[in-house]
Amino acid sequence: MPNAVDLRRTAKRRLRHALVWSKARRGDLVSQLMLHERLDDPYPLYEQMRAAGPVYRSSMGLNAVTSHELCTRVLRDPAFSRRNEEPQRVTPPGEQGPSGDSSFLQEEVSDHMRWRRLVAPAFRPRKIGDYRRRTEEVAHRLLDAALAKDDFDLVTDYASPLPITVISELLGLTDVDVEKFAHYGLITGKAIDGIRSTRQANEFRTAVRELDELFAGLVRRRRAEPGDDLVSELLKPQGDQALPEREIVGTCQLLLTAGFETTTNLVSNVVLRLKENPEQWEKLVADPGLAPAAAEESLRYDPPVQYSIRVAREEFDAVGQTLPADTVLMLVLGGANRDPEVFGNPHRFDITRSDATSHLAFLSGAHYCVGAPLARMEADVALKVLAERAPGLRQTGRPTRRPTAALRGLLHLPVTA
C-alpha cells in the first residue's frame, strides 16, 4: 500500500504532467517533445525551434538551441556547467532524473578530467584494435544464430548483445546476462527524460541497487585478484591516493550502460535508415568499406543522443541575445546536426557525404565522449558483417521505438535475410 510520501510524489507528478500537457496544447515545442508526441520523427519539431531564432525560449524554463555554432560554443566553454542543482528544471515532467551517482559525467570539468585520464587508456588505438578482433568474433557468432532463423530481431539478436558483450569484457565481467543488462539500459535511459511514476522510480532504484551490488562485488574480487580489465586499472593507486570504491562503482555503471545503450541505438538507427533508403544499402553492400562513413552519417542524421543540458554560470551573449546566469540550455544535438549553415541538404541521408563528421553526436570539448572510438569500431564491425553476410537483409515489420526523447533508438526491428 502506498505511503504518504509516495502519494504526495504521485500527486506532484500528475500535476506536473497536466501542466506540461497544457503548455504543449498552447504550442510550447519543448513540452511537446517531453510528452513524447514526436518520437517517430522529432526533426520537424527541431526545425520549428530553429525558425524561432538561435535560442527557443520555452515556458518550461528550458532554452532550446538548434544552432550548430552555438551548441559547439557552449559545449567547449567552461562557463557552462553540466550539473544542475535543480533537476526538476531540466527533466520535466518527471520528478527528477538519475541523480546522485558518482560517475564522471556528473562531475565538473576539473574532476571529470582526472577520471577521464584514468579511463582513457582503455580506449586508445591499440586497445581498440584488441577489442576489434573480439567484436568481430561476437558479431559473426550472433549473426550465425540470427540467420539460422527465418526471421530475427535486429536489435535483440544483434545490435544489443554485441556491445553489451564487448563492454562487459572490457570491465572484467564474465557470463553476462544480456537480457538483464539490456533491461538496465532501458530503465536508466528512460530516467534521463525524468521519473514519471512511482513504478518507474522503483524500477530505477532497483536497477541502480543491483548494478551497485554487481560492481561492488567485482571491485572486491579484483582487489584480491587483479586482472587485465578496466576495474583492475582503476584500483591501482594514483600517486599516493586511490580512487574511492563508490567512484569506481559509479564509473562502471556509466561505462556499462552508456557503453552499450548508445551503440545499440547507433547500429539499429543506421540499419533502419539504410533500409528506408535502399540505394544507400546497395552502396554499402557493394563496398562494405563504407561502413564507417555510414555510421558517421547516421550519427549526424539520427543521433542516439538527441539533446544535452547545460547551465550558464554567468551572463552570456547568444548570437546577439543576452541571457542571464543560471539560464538552462537544452542543446538539441539532433537539430544542430541538421543545421543548413553547416550541412548541405541536411535532411538527406547520404553515406557518401563529405561533411558528416562535423556532427555533435559525441558532444565536444571537455565532455567529448571518451568511448567514441569504441562505439565507432563496434558500428563499423556490425555494419560490415551485415553487409557481407546478409546482403539481402529486408525489414519484415514495423520498428518499435524506445519510449524516450533524450535517447533515440529502437526496441525492435523485425528483419529477414
pLDDT in tens, the chain (417 residues): 566 666 666 667 677 767 777 887 888 898 888 888 888 999 999 999 999 988 999 888 889 999 999 999 999 998 898 754 333 333 433 333 433 333 444 444 446 666 677 778 788 888 899 899 999 999 999 999 999 998 999 999 999 999 999 999 888 888 888 889 888 888 888 888 778 778 888 888 898 899 999 999 999 999 899 988 888 888 887 666 677 888 888 888 888 877 788 899 999 999 999 999 999 999 999 999 999 999 999 999 999 999 999 999 899 888 777 888 989 999 999 999 999 999 999 999 999 999 999 999 999 988 888 889 999 999 999 999 999 999 999 999 999 999 899 999 999 999 999
Distance from C-alpha of 54 to C-alpha of 67, rounded to nearest angstrom: 6
DSSP state of 289: G
31 neighbors 393 (Cβ within 8 angstroms): no
Domain parsing of the chain, residue ranges: 4-416
Distance from C-alpha of 147 to C-alpha of 129, rounded to nearest angstrom: 27
C-alpha cell at 330: 537544452
Q: Which whole-number Å values give the CA distances from 214 to 162, 184, 223, 255, 393, in the listed order?
A: 20, 12, 15, 14, 37
266 neighbors 402 (Cβ within 8 angstroms): no
pTM for this model (two decimals): 0.88
Secondary structure class of 153 (helix, strand, coil): strand
402 neighbors 265 (Cβ within 8 angstroms): yes
- CATH node for 4-416: 1.10.630.10
Nearest in space to 356 (alpha carbons), one of 299, 398, 282, 408: 299
Residue type, 351: I
Bridge-based pairing state of the strands 63-65 and 55-57: antiparallel
Nearest in space to 83 (alpha carbons), one of 70, 102, 66: 102
Nearest in space to 118 (alpha carbons), one of 257, 263, 242: 242
